[in-house]
Amino acid sequence: MGKAVKLLAACFLLFTGNLYAQENNELTIKIEPTPVVVEVGEELQLKATLMDGDEALPDTVLFYSRNGAALEVSRDGLVKANKPGTFSVLAQRSGPRDQRVRTRFNIEVPYPPIAKLEFKQIPESFFSKTNYDLLVDVIDEMKLVRENPELSFKSSNPEVATISHGKLLALKPGKTKITATSEGKSAVLNINVKENPAAEITIANSQTNVRTGDVITLNATAKGNNGNAVAVPITYSFEAQPEDNLGQGAEGQINQDGKFVANVPGTFILSARAGTATADQVIRVRKRNVARDIEVVGHGQVFDVHTSDLWVWEGQDGRDYAITGTWGANGDTYFWDVTDPANLIPVDTVRVDARTVNDVKISADGTIGVLTREGASDRKNGIVILNVSDPRNVEVITEYTDGLTGGVHNSFIYEDHVYAVNNGTRYDIINIEDPANPYTVNRFELDTPGHSIHDVWIEDGIAYSSNWRDGIVAVDIGSKNSELADAGGSPSNPVKLGSYAYPSGWNHAAFPFKSESTGDFYVIGGDEAFPEGLPSRNNPAAAAGWIHFVKFNGWENPQEVARYQVPEAGTHNFWVVGDTLYVAYYNGGLRIVDISGELMGNLYDQGREIAKFEPTHADAVVPNAPFTWGPQPHKGHIFISDWNSGLWSVKLLEPAQQGTN
């Protein structure tokens, strides 16, 4: 079983509670040592013993952790602490589900003593009637920067400047010393507040009649008494008058770059201020009005086993085909003729030695297929290479397991190479110019503590991998993207370009795209988490997480600018065509989202959802419960694989067609 699958399995185990098993109340698990305390950078071997009263039993107890790189815990209980904090770990007796015994316990990793404090990003000048963020790094004796430290501030001259919740309020010209303190260590910042030279502010924005979700930039300029621009901080705010006044949540968002986006229709007053100089602009926001109807066209029923991923392509004969994998079953892969999306016809089945065929990919020319294997009986997992020139008579060309026996979770075919996510730690790059004789040319693996990887997607010679806590990682494997710098990489010489990580550590999938309407380049990062466990007949379950929109103006400083967050569900796989995003939102079904224009804020709140479809069926593996795995738009239809109910085709109706079906 690959490491990514182990992580997923651990995720399921941590959160399923009594979903799969009843606790055995007569037995307990004893953890030694107790309490568990590990210093940063050190290792500790845990011992877990199954106890029947005072009697120790010989059963095997395994450990499961979802703490990523911060705290590494092996199945046999070897702990390595990389970051301080309090971490929850699960110990469980292995065996049949109805005989499982489990216990949760905490591992404490103490914070090292603080060594020093350092002010950072200090403005060149401070001006009266202006506020500033006071940014301080609290650094411990292991040179680690504390996250969310307890900080206190003091101003030696409160008449000149005061501090409130980390904000410096510059009141009048003069000098003061700002002292930051944490756990007895301090740092001092001497500041000289100058008279604010701003006499007026002008706003250059001309967009005053917009839709929800449209981003406008005020482009405010502060000027002195002589009419010349002056370089002083400008603070932005807004007042909202929503149309319905029904106890709105967040009516909109404005940032300190002067960008504003409205979530609801209404009238908004946008304000810019520098010192005593202010300027206002009134804008009118109307409803985005992008919602469209969706029509269910066809259903390829798979009710006896769970369905995994899909791929749709035009075959050598000009007809359209789809391939779908199976999860936790007998290693079957199904081939479908989808030329008529209303009649999804199974035309062939390939069975391989595996419990799960998680990922399925087809080459750009429609001749070669690759299956990823997990749970092979001989533990030689790897990939299976297929000849799919005739999807009605698919042939296995070869199996390739060299260095891949731990399990391959996902893969990608690009220019006669397969990029295979290997054992949840790296991706191997396999040459398949001669598909009967593949060979590994190189691999790419991070060097961060406890690193892991789930998926990889390739566009224009750049591989975008999804690395859980390490986030999105871009690697040059033969870049053809002239807009962003390359690094001279190739399949045999992969070179890292840049990366972006976010706090949850749930980065499960990535998809790069260039906005059709603005030309901006984004990489979408999708989350995956299961707070309520895997779905079953007694527990339809909910996933968690959302879509992160990360803008890359270069590889060095990516910026997360927007999200799409469905409150009750979580993401799996997704696809972008033009200015439209198609997301498989697990228990939230398929979501189709307008991503045109500049992006900012939560797109879900802005009325950007075009349509949704929740595939359900009474005879599904889990009846009447959507658990949508992946979408792919193809020739005017959207094909969907659903974990519970198989393959679907739907069509997004044009406005003129709405209400006619």
DSSP β-ladder status, 259-262 and 55-57: unpaired
Q: Pull the structure tokens for residue 137.
A: 């790094």
Residue 536: DSSP 8-state: B
Please tell me the predicted confidence (pLDDT) of residue 16: 36
CA separation, residue 23 to residues 16, 408, 621 (Å) = 12, 32, 25
Q: Pull the structure tokens for residue 512.
A: 């790069």
Q: Closest Cα to residue 647, out of 341, 400, 437, 417?
A: 341
* For residue 20, pLDDT beyond 60: no
Q: Please say whether the beta carbons of 309 and 573 come within 8 A.
A: yes
pLDDT-derived band at 520 (thresholds 50, 70, 90) equals very high
Across the chain, mean pLDDT equals: 91
CATH superfamily placement of domain 200-286: Immunoglobulins (2.60.40.10)
Angle made by CA atoms 69, 74, 79, in degrees to the nearest 5: 65
Digit-coded pLDDT (tens) for 322-343: 999 999 999 999 999 999 999 9
Using a 10 angstrom Cβ sphere, with 0-12 exposed, 13-18 middle and 19 or more buried, the burial of residue 18 is exposed
Comparing 147 with 57, the larger pLDDT belongs to: 57
Digit-coded pLDDT (tens) for 459-515: 999 999 999 989 999 999 999 876 788 899 999 999 999 999 998 889 999 999 999
pLDDT-derived band at 5 (thresholds 50, 70, 90) equals very low
Q: Which CATH class is domain 294-657?
A: mainly beta
pLDDT-derived band at 218 (thresholds 50, 70, 90) equals very high
Please tell me the predicted confidence (pLDDT) of residue 25: 53
Percent of the chain at pLDDT above 90? Answer: 80
Cα separation, 393 vs 389, whole angstroms = 8
DSSP β-ladder status, 126-127 and 47-52: unpaired
Residue 195: DSSP 8-state: P
Angle made by CA atoms 116, 122, 128, in degrees to the nearest 5: 125
* Average confidence (pLDDT) over 208-237: 96
Q: Please say whether the beta carbons of 594 and 612 come within 8 A.
A: no
Q: Please say whether the beta carbons of 221 and 205 come within 8 A.
A: no
Please tell me the predicted confidence (pLDDT) of residue 505: 87
* Average confidence (pLDDT) over 88-110: 85
Please tell me the predicted confidence (pLDDT) of residue 533: 66
Cβ-based neighbour number of residue 327 at 10 Å: 17
Residue 112: DSSP 8-state: P
* Strand ranges in 275-407 using DSSP code E only, listed in sequence order: 277-286, 294-301, 306-314, 320-327, 332-337, 345-351, 356-362, 368-374, 383-387, 395-400
Q: Closest Cα to residue 386, out of 432, 336, 317?
A: 432
Digit-coded pLDDT (tens) for 123-171: 999 999 999 999 999 999 988 898 889 999 999 999 999 999 989 999 9
Cα separation, 279 vs 258, whole angstroms = 12
Cα separation, 626 vs 640, whole angstroms = 11
Q: Which of 216-220, 404-408, 552-556, 651-655 has the lowest mean pLDDT?
A: 404-408
Fold of 114-194: Immunoglobulin-like (2.60.40)
> Which uninterrupted H or E stretch holds 14?
helix 3-15
Residue 116: DSSP 8-state: E
- Residue-range domain boundaries for the chain: 3-109, 114-194, 200-286, 294-657
pTM for the predicted model, two decimal places: 0.86
Q: Do domains 3-109 and 200-286 have the same CATH topology?
A: yes
Cα separation, 590 vs 212, whole angstroms = 22
* Average confidence (pLDDT) over 174-202: 97
Dihedral sign, CA of 475, 479, 485, 486?
positive
CA separation, residue 462 to residues 129, 439, 497, 549 (Å) = 48, 21, 9, 18
Cβ-based neighbour number of residue 600 at 10 Å: 24
pLDDT-derived band at 452 (thresholds 50, 70, 90) equals confident
Largest CA distance in the chain: 88
Q: Which of 20-24, 32-36, 60-64, 101-105 has the lowest mean pLDDT?
A: 20-24
Please tell me the predicted confidence (pLDDT) of residue 8: 38
Q: Please say whether the beta carbons of 137 and 205 come within 8 A.
A: no
Digit-coded pLDDT (tens) for 373-427: 999 998 889 999 999 999 999 999 999 999 998 889 999 999 999 999 987 889 9
Fold of 3-109: Immunoglobulin-like (2.60.40)
Please tell me the predicted confidence (pLDDT) of residue 12: 38
Angle made by CA atoms 47, 53, 59, in degrees to the nearest 5: 45
Order of strands across the sheet that contains 637-642:
294-301, 646-652, 637-642, 628-634
Cα separation, 520 vs 526, whole angstroms = 19
Digit-coded pLDDT (tens) for 563-610: 999 998 999 999 999 999 999 999 999 999 999 999 999 999 999 999
Digit-coded pLDDT (tens) for 281-321: 999 999 999 999 999 999 999 989 999 999 999 999 999 99
